[in-house]
Structure 1
Amino acid sequence: MTTQTDILWTAPAARHAAANATKLLDWLAGQGLAFDDYDAMLAWSIDEPEVFWRQLWAYFDVIHDGEIKEVMSADPMPDTRWFTGTKLNYAEHVLRLEEAGDPARVMLHHSSELRPHATMSWGEVGSAVRKLATKLRAMGLGEGDCVAAYMPNIPEAVIAMLATTAIGATWSSAAPEFGAQTVIDRFGQIAPKLVFAANGYRYGGKDFDRTEDLAMILAALPEARDLVMLDYQPTAAKAPAFDGTIHTWDDMLSGAEVTREAFTYTRVASDHPLWVLFSSGTTGLPKPIVHGHHGIVVEHLKSAAVHFDLKPSDTLFFYSTTGWMMWNTLMWGPLMGASAVLYDGHPAFPEITSLFELAETTGATVFGTNPTFLQIVKQQGIVPKERFDLSALQSVMLVGSPATPEVFEWVYANVKSDLWVTSQSGGTEFCSGILAGAPIQPVRAGVIQSRGLATDAQAFSEAGEPLTDEVGELVIRKPMPSMPLFFWGDDGNARYRSSYFERFPGVWTHGDRVVFHEDGTCLVLGRSDATLNRFGVRIGSAEIYRTVDSFEGVKDSLIVCVEDGQGGYFMPLFLELAEGVALTDELIGAIRTTLRKDRSPRHVPDVILQAPEIPLTLTGKKMEVPVRKLLLGAAMADVASEGATRNPHALRWFADYAADWRETQSREEERA
């Protein structure tokens, strides 16, 4: 069995020499900042973040007006501001390489269940952005205005985002599969003046008309006076009922060309809102997280270059929707002069290998995916390297959930043996990474290679002391440029502070359980608020999933632990089984025995049950916290918005189970 100490890959000499991390080390040495290796550079960046970020600003030749007064202000988190005295624009950096080379180079690969694979060049994207931005300005939009989009992951969404941010307006997006109330919960907080929307989409071979939902959304957004409609779904209505002005996408892109020389990007200060991202919304209204141009530009340059090792010859492919932060990070490709892949549709339609097929078609060099997706591919006995030409592939990024040693091992055995396979972890709050790595570090099975550069991440004990080789709370002790500027409408940062700074004053508490090893590697064990607590001993749910998911026939699983208030605990394990697989006494016994043997007696659940389906958020995360709250007696309406749930019917089953379980508990207490 593969263990976390096993080294699965080290970069060949040629790749080590060509890595962006190596080039950064060489450049720093030329500035009089010589480091023996990556770990030494990492330690310096954490110890001296102000010096590091000033050097990075120069290394990437950030386009700006003004002079830097302070790289980072002396204000403590969350009030720290970056590169004060300067102004810059995010979209200008994404498109800066349009003129650096052949404008006919591919910038975007794109396909969907409605469109065959096609490409857009740098020249085509740049031209469309300038035309659209000029039209938006003519409509009176600019700094201080919010623009929202209800669109799928297609080039039009990227163009709309870049045009919006190019003029200094603030962007926000929601995926079209979000229900009306889910979108209202988000956009209703930011009052957009203009909305981009598609009339529908196709998912899993089924067509969806979103114009009725869009009408409800617009009715709840009284400040939205303009609607730009894209006729994307051919069987859907062309537009919803709307009291304002409806523009077609084609109209907004019509007219004379706007040359690069004639177009001016609106450069803004470091406290100016770039976009608003939203938390998952599993409980209460989603948090409207505001990022700035400066923080996103420098953090994304750092992550794209060092932690994804992207170069102009690369093609970056992540499956994402416009409602997930990974969509925003797809622009890491163009930031590095590389291309990005957009896909709108079901990731496993018409079959589970569709994403690998798209990776082959686009010549993807960097492929990002979720370990759960790979687990399903593995269970179906599929060997991608035998079915697809993945010769261009250089890196596999595992994000979204903890990756086990077995997933790492499977990728090397079944996808490609010479790969940089890296598990990384970040968050919507940063729209970037916290725990990352670089290809010049060795790949060890099932662990994250290191902290991100200039990221003072630690595991804290309950007393607020740093831990090594022990599980603790993931915290960040020093500011990062892409930390949120604020939450939209959050007067005095009250909600912001209570969300991240109450537990350890002055220290960001991220909400994950993590262990940092002596060698600098680390491992995320799951969310803190979903941590299993058996008789005072904390257990990460990821440990149990690693074991349970290895059983043939187990499609997915979910485990929670509920305290009874009297020192007792109830820890049920729910299994979603593959079609035709039954939950037999033999399977239950085998799971119990394996958990006891491979983990500990505390990892053995009190009961193992079959559920029709595991409830997931719209971004594919198991809804452990809402299920736990249901068992504690909360109403379904109070633990999660159905519109924020990918499969609401699954959560309703858990609500019914929780009600029956609590009734049984009450009867037993009465008899006692």
Structure 2
Amino acid sequence: MPDNPKMIAFARWCAERGAPVAPDGSDYDALWRWSVTQTADFWTSVRDFFEVSLEGTPTTVLSGQMPHARWFEGTRLNYVDQIFRRPLSDGPAVIDAAESAADGAGFEERVLSWSELARQVGAFAATLRELGVTRGDRVVGYLPDIAEAIVAFLASASIGAVWSSCGQDYSPDAAANRFGQLRPVVLVAADGYRFGGRGRDRREAVEVLLERLPTVRAAFLVPRLGSGAVSGFRPWRQAVAAQAELVPERLPFEHPLWVLFSSGTTGRPKGIVHGHGGVLLEHLKSLGLHLDLRAGDRFAWYTTPSWMVWNYRVSGLLLGATVVCYDGSATYPSPDALWALAARHHITFLGASPGFVAACEAAGVQPAARHDLRSLRAFGSSGSHLPASAYEWIRTRVGEHVEVHSASGGTDVVTAFAGGAPILPVRPGELSGPSLGVALEAWDPAGRPVRGQTGELVITRPMPSMPLYFWDDADGSRYHDAYFSAYPGVWRHGDWVTMTRRGTVIVNGRSDSTLNRQGVRMGSAEIYQAVEALPEVAEALVIGAEQPDGGYWMPLFVQLAEGAELTDALIERITSAIRDGASPRHVPDDVVAVEAVPHTITGKKLEVPVKRILQGTEIEQVADRGSIDNPSALQRFAEYRAERTRTGRVVEARR
């Protein structure tokens, strides 16, 4: 446990004001129960503890039920106000870092002080006003993870404009599929980004994107690589040149803050709209209490503006923490690049994907032996299951003092449903517990809560960061169908989880791609953990597909390591590993080699689209190609299904 965690201070503060929690603040279960049974009191306490400045007296803290719950009606605020409420200083607010360049196009790391950040945000806000941008207008960013993305977002939010962004690894068509729905009036883009030791020139893509967005009235180009001008774009330096005071506008509590997009694996990406007040309260709670983030900390999480973690990390500024951006590959120029970054900038909280940890482990990286990581207090992981072995690797290779925060949440609520807490023990392979304010349960098919067995992840009480609505969903039908069609008035997230009897949470996989053999539900995580530990297997994808004749087909697709072949001996090793590591029921019907396992651009395996392809759906109907890291990889699964259907037998697919 960290020294004097803020969560204990919060619990004691609440106890002094009559909350039914332990006076010494040490009982997390009591604190959580109060947070989900007396919801309005809990979120009022979060507001008061973090001294959120609200204008007006709420007519009610919480009214209505999901999906129509409303928070703090009658009040006004601005997310940006909370960031700049402290006296401005010359201390670092944003550190803008990038990988080293092998192509000779060097890049100097930059630091924006709190004073300079406020100046640039005020300047761009003034530029937006001069362009006639008003409340509710949309400003979009096609940018790498750089300081300018933060400036543009905060400036937009300060005047009531709505922000949306994606990284430049998206194609211009994929970006337009998202931004075009919003009908934006301003576009901010960069001339390129860094990855794998060289600059990736995106001027042509930027120009194409602008053509695809006919509603844009003004576009600004950030010279990230210094590659040159782009037709139709104004220089970014002009946009932030003014000396203008930053005066955030007070907005209704639920005024839209940003639009995040679903992954696009089930059709056109859905625009998910979140509000100023809900995000502000949720992120103060999550970052301030669960991550124990505070002023002076340095907060880094390897991400892109395409992923909700970017938005989550920016909110570190709400607590007075320094936010560290990183433009580049997590494993260049060496597999320990992020650990070097953490040492260089004395990062206190570093986040990355389970895949990054696995890559470090496979490469034999020794972070603590090579780098001074004494400042690093915690490591965060999200996006997929963090196996138990990763906890041990962090303990022995990074440091026993580094607490592991594995979390599971979603773009839908831009936070974690479950994860770590400074007053809970860390159990390898498990999430420490449901987050405060999250009425998380696992339900069986009859809608009954279950413990110690896998069930559907549901949320039974409103959270302030739940979507206000989906973009272009006037009657709310798409929003309702996404979360509330299975259990009226209860949020069904689409994950299988196990609520253990000791209070921890185990995420077993997506419920709509869940394996279900003979009525026994299984998640995919255990299979991946067993198979991907084999040196011959680079990555795996398992699918459980219901068949028209009532049968059930469960193939395992493996991307082999370089030089490996899918021999009978290797298939036996794979099935034995699954049988020993999970159960005989987990052993697949077929083991098939593929050139690549497809993912979303943010790194999630495309289990659901592949399942639908194997069930006969055309590729174009199951996925937006622009949101996939390797669209051609999907074709292999369509060919495999066609061959299997034609021959009625298992297809030999060895390499």
TM-score range with shorter-chain normalisation?
over 0.9
Cα distance change of structure 1 residues 97 and 663 upon mapping to structure 2, 3 Å threshold: farther
- Map 1:57-456 onto structure 2 (within 5 A): 57-73=47-63, 75-99=64-88, 103-113=89-99, 115-235=107-227, 237-240=228-231, 242=232, 246-255=233-242, 257-259=243-245, 263-456=246-439
DSSP 3-state at the match of 2:135: coil
Q: Which moved more, 1:162-171 or 1:631-640?
A: 631-640
The alpha-carbon deviation at position 505 of structure 1 amounts to 0.8
How many Å separate the matches in 2 of 1:106 and 1:187?
32
Counterpart AA for 2:146: I
Q: Which moved more, 1:29-38 or 1:173-182?
A: 29-38
DSSP 3-state at the match of 1:444: coil
Q: Deviations over 1:440-489 (max 9, x none)?
A: 11111111111111110111111111111110110101100000000111
Residue pair 2:254, 2:278 contacting (<8 A) in 1 also: no
How many Å separate the matches in 2 of 1:125 and 1:626?
42
Q: 1:33 aligns with which of 6, 13, 19?
A: 19
Q: Deviations over 1:619-664 (max 9, x none)?
A: 1001111111111112221221221011223223333333323332
The alpha-carbon deviation at position 60 of structure 1 amounts to 0.9
The alpha-carbon deviation at position 317 of structure 1 amounts to 0.9
Partner of 2:103: none
Partner of 2:449: 466
How many Å separate the matches in 1 of 2:54 and 2:446?
43
Q: Deviations over 1:314-350 (max 9, x none)?
A: 1111000011101001123211111111001122222
Partner of 1:559: 542
How many Å separate the matches in 2 of 1:652 and 1:217?
27
Residue pair 1:284, 1:638 contacting (<8 A) in 2 also: yes
Q: Does 1:501 align with 2:480?
A: no
Identity over aligned pairs, percent:
40
Residue pair 1:110, 1:343 contacting (<8 A) in 2 also: yes
Q: Does 1:665 align with 2:648?
A: yes
Partner of 1:4: none
How many Å separate the matches in 2 of 1:65 and 1:189?
32
How many Å separate the matches in 2 of 1:443 and 1:208?
40
How many Å separate the matches in 1 of 2:125 and 2:635?
44
How many Å separate the matches in 2 of 1:642 and 1:98?
47
Partner of 1:5: none
Residue pair 1:513, 1:526 contacting (<8 A) in 2 also: yes
DSSP 3-state at the match of 2:57: strand
The alpha-carbon deviation at position 586 of structure 1 amounts to 2.5
Counterpart AA for 1:308: L
Q: Which moved more, 1:152-161 or 1:304-313?
A: 304-313
Q: Deviations over 1:523-572 (max 9, x none)?
A: 11111111112222211000111111222232211111122222322211
Residue pair 1:80, 1:479 contacting (<8 A) in 2 also: yes
Residue pair 1:94, 1:331 contacting (<8 A) in 2 also: no
- Map 1:590-629 onto structure 2 (within 5 A): 590-629=573-612
Q: Which runs of 5+ in 2 are unaligned?
A: 100-105
Q: Does 1:457 align with 2:440?
A: yes
TM-score by length of 1: 0.93
Q: Deviations over 1:554-596 (max 9, x none)?
A: 2211111122222322211122222233333322212212222
Residue pair 1:376, 1:555 contacting (<8 A) in 2 also: no
Q: Does 1:492 align with 2:475?
A: yes
Residue pair 2:439, 2:460 contacting (<8 A) in 1 also: yes
Partner of 2:509: 526
Residue pair 1:631, 1:662 contacting (<8 A) in 2 also: no
The alpha-carbon deviation at position 173 of structure 1 amounts to 0.5
DSSP 3-state at the match of 1:340: strand
Q: Deviations over 1:486-506 (max 9, x none)?
A: 011101111100111001111
Residue pair 2:176, 2:212 contacting (<8 A) in 1 also: yes
Q: Deviations over 1:248-283 (max 9, x none)?
A: 10111113x234xxx421111123111100000012
Residue pair 2:379, 2:405 contacting (<8 A) in 1 also: yes
Partner of 1:648: 631
The alpha-carbon deviation at position 98 of structure 1 amounts to 4.7
How many Å separate the matches in 1 of 2:32 and 2:309?
24
Residue pair 2:40, 2:61 contacting (<8 A) in 1 also: yes
The alpha-carbon deviation at position 435 of structure 1 amounts to 0.8
Q: Deviations over 1:70-103 (max 9, x none)?
A: 1111x2211111111110101121232353xxx1
Partner of 2:555: 572
Residue pair 2:221, 2:234 contacting (<8 A) in 1 also: yes
DSSP 3-state at the match of 1:265: coil
How many Å separate the matches in 2 of 1:503 and 1:234?
52
Please report the RMSD computed on the Cα atoms of aligned residues, expressed in angstroms: 1.7
Q: Does 1:50 align with 2:33?
A: no
How many Å separate the matches in 1 of 2:250 and 2:643?
58
How many Å separate the matches in 2 of 1:376 and 1:557?
15
Q: Which moved more, 1:531-540 or 1:149-158?
A: 531-540
DSSP 3-state at the match of 1:443: coil
Counterpart AA for 2:72: F
DSSP 3-state at the match of 1:465: coil
Q: Which runs of 5+ in 1 are unaligned?
A: 1-10
Q: Deviations over 1:279-298 (max 9, x none)?
A: 00012111100000010000
DSSP 3-state at the match of 2:40: helix
Q: Does 1:481 align with 2:464?
A: yes
Residue pair 2:335, 2:365 contacting (<8 A) in 1 also: no
DSSP 3-state at the match of 1:330: helix
DSSP 3-state at the match of 1:295: helix
Residue pair 1:369, 1:399 contacting (<8 A) in 2 also: yes
Counterpart AA for 1:80: A
DSSP 3-state at the match of 1:197: strand
Residue pair 2:484, 2:492 contacting (<8 A) in 1 also: yes
Residue pair 2:303, 2:352 contacting (<8 A) in 1 also: no
TM-score by length of 2: 0.95
Residue pair 1:547, 1:594 contacting (<8 A) in 2 also: yes
- Map 1:621-640 onto structure 2 (within 5 A): 621-640=604-623
Q: Deviations over 1:337-380 (max 9, x none)?
A: 11111001122222221111111111111111111211121122
Counterpart AA for 1:238: A
DSSP 3-state at the match of 1:71: strand
Cα distance change of structure 1 residues 349 and 653 upon mapping to structure 2, 3 Å threshold: farther
Counterpart AA for 2:68: D
Residue pair 1:105, 1:121 contacting (<8 A) in 2 also: yes
